[in-house]
Amino acid sequence: MQKAISKYWPIFVLPTLVAFIIGFIWPFIWGVYLSFQRFTTVSKTTFVGIQNYLSVFQDSTFLHAFGFTAAFTVVSTVLINVCAFAIALVLTRGIKGTNIFRTVFFMPNLIGGILLGYIWQILLNGVLANLQKPLLALDAKAGFVGLVILMCWQQIGYMMIIYIAGIQNIPGELIEAAKIDGANGWKTFWKITVPLLKPTIIMTFIMSINGTLQLGSCNHNSCCKAGKCPLDLFIQILLHEKYAGIRLFGIPFGFSPIVPLLWACLLYTSDAA
């Protein structure tokens, strides 16, 4: 079996590689190329160098959205990973009902972004109704806190599963050897568990950053109603407002999974043309 895999592995890799190139690599390269152009359509372009990047960083609305998105990404990523790691440590101690807890924590991740936004809009409006402060009447700071809670609620369970898998792969002999040598739980955690989980931690941080940077649909549906979006301070929503009239296969173009900075530059190139 191993010989067959070693011999024919290119055949197995080829379909995925082709799909990855078509769906990600080529669009990304094309997007980078267009970011240095001024255009109305992708077939009629004029090279302008880095002028688009200079223009986007001179726009106060974009800078505010960029800073708000960056702050949200940092706070959410740290909270998601710290909480997921803590829960994973608890659920790998062999407590009763571990499988039930894992299922319950993971279930929010199965909810799509649009539906998740509407669910939390209902929940937040229900809670805030008692305070006579509807969601749309709140300021950006309150919206920031609400969206951090929303993101953590959805992502912690998924990252928890990854951390559990990493913890279970740590050889038990190392833990036993540390105990024999007199290491307490705290030293074992910092000297054995954390170092051996570095690949897992790096992967979960990257996944968390990617998820928080694509929060556009949750943000829009939880904070917007009747065309009013007082908390639209994310780059994705800024792009959505600019491209509100452009639809691709019936989907608003601004809600595409994008590299925010790159597409912000493309936004300015199309507007300037």
- Give residue 253's pLDDT: 42
| pLDDT 10s digits, 186-220 | 888 888 888 899 999 999 999 888 888 776 555 55
Segments of the chain with pLDDT less than 50: 221, 226-228, 230-232, 243-260, 266-268, 270
- Give residue 243's pLDDT: 47
Report the distance separating Cα 21 and Cα 171, nearest Å.
Answer: 37
Paired tokens of 204: 């979960």
Q: 162: which residues sit within 8 A by CB, 6+ positions away?
A: 84, 200, 203, 204, 207
- Give residue 30's pLDDT: 85
The answer to whether 192 and 169 are in contact (CB under 8 A) is no
